[in-house]
Amino acid sequence: MGESPIFSCKAHVFHIDPGTKRSWMPASSSAVPVSFFYDSSRGLYRIISVEGAKAVINSTLTPSMTFTKTSQKFGQWSDVRANTVYGLGFPSEAELNKFIEQFGSVKEATKAKSGTGNSTNGSSGSSSNIPIPPPETGSYGREDVNSNEPNNGNSVSKGAAGSHTRSQSLSAVSPAPSTIDSPKHLSKTGSDQLKGSVKYDTSESGLKYENERLRLALSQSCANAKKWEVELATLTTNNTRLTAALTESKSNVDQWQRQLSAYKEENQRLKQRALEAEAASGSAEAAQELRKELALMREKVESAQAALKAKEEELKALKERGPLAHDQVKDSFHDMENIRGALASAEAQLEAAMGAQDSQRRVLEALNSQLAEKIQELLAIHREVNVALQT
């Protein structure tokens, strides 16, 4: 079924000062609704007041509770379960009397449900509801609330008598005037019982709060520890991977450096061979001189061929002239043989020179192609090393 409201009014809410226990602290900034609720499922009555999102009153009524009117517009009651005393400041005395009447009605209903007697409830209520002087009038009304009525208990019964017949029970359980005006005359046993119950409730609530706080801190620490373990495992894995990658990169760099050194040595060796081939074949000037020499030898061959041809024609002419030219013919044959020998030697030298030039050219071309390949390999290695250093 849940809770249902049975009465509502507006008042300023105050709490007892936990430090002094003799002064009031405002719990609401202005007059707020104060309502009685009945929970039919549990048979409980509660007084609830909410300002914004804050519950300024949450009090479960018991038969031992007593509402005490301390001035024309102010009243109070003690809640041992909440370990506080609530105070209400009303805009008028009529509003206060209506609240007292409702409080008494609810208290009677609570007594009927619990089956407790009036004498027991009255004694416990008087011992736990010591009147506190009301706050200043300006905090909840314009009229003077410190009227110093001669008998607070009688004022409660008088205010309630004109509005409802059951208010007499409230005055019956209210403390005597001497008890209200003189808290020092309370029985020592009742005061000790009140202090003990309040102290026990305070220590128990404090221990519960501390236990709950430690439980939350422990659960949060466990959650944080698990999270840190996961983060530590992730960092360890990443560190291992980075270490392996760094080691591999270092080994690759060392290998590339060794290859680069080998290629440098090979390049130096090829350069040395090219220099030796160049020295063996001669410089560009030596090649030019060789070409000139070949040209001269060709000219000599051509001149020798022309001289041979001339000698052959002369020999023909001498044969036609007869035996008188026999000595001249011999001389001409001898000269022709000499010319042929010189021509043959010149052609042999020319062929040898041309063969040497061709072989040198082939050697130079082979060396040039090898040098070009090595240079390309060195450039590729250089690019790989640059990429590795940049990454």
- pLDDT at position 249 is 80
Q: Give the 3-state secondary structure of the chain.
A: CCEEEEEEEEEEEEEECCCCCCCEEECCCCCEEEEEEEECCCCEEEEEEEECCEEEEEEECCCCCCCEECCCCEEEEEECCCCEEEEEECCCHHHHHHHHHHHHHHHHHHHHHHCCCHHHHHHHHHHHCCCCCCCCHHHCCCCCCCCCCCCHHHHHHHHHHCCCCCHHHHHHHCCCHHHHHCHHHCCHHHHHHHHHHHHHHHHHHHHHHHHHHHHHHHHHHHHHHHHHHHHHHHHHHHHHHHHHHHHHHHHHHHHHHHHHHHHHHHHHHHHHHHHHHHHHHCCHHHHHHHHHHHHHHHHHHHHHHHHHHHHHHHHHHHHHHCHHHHHHHHHHHHHHHHHHHHHHHHHHHHHHHHHHHHHHHHHHHHHHHHHHHHHHHHHHHHHHHHHHHHC
Mean pLDDT by 10 residues, the chain (391 residues): 86 93 92 94 92 92 93 94 94 95 93 61 45 69 39 35 34 33 37 45 69 82 88 92 86 84 83 73 63 78 82 77 64 78 82 81 86 89 88 79
- pLDDT at position 161 is 34
Q: What is the pLDDT of residues 176-231, one digit of tens each?
A: 333 333 333 333 444 444 444 444 445 677 787 778 778 888 888 888 898 888 98
- pLDDT at position 344 is 83
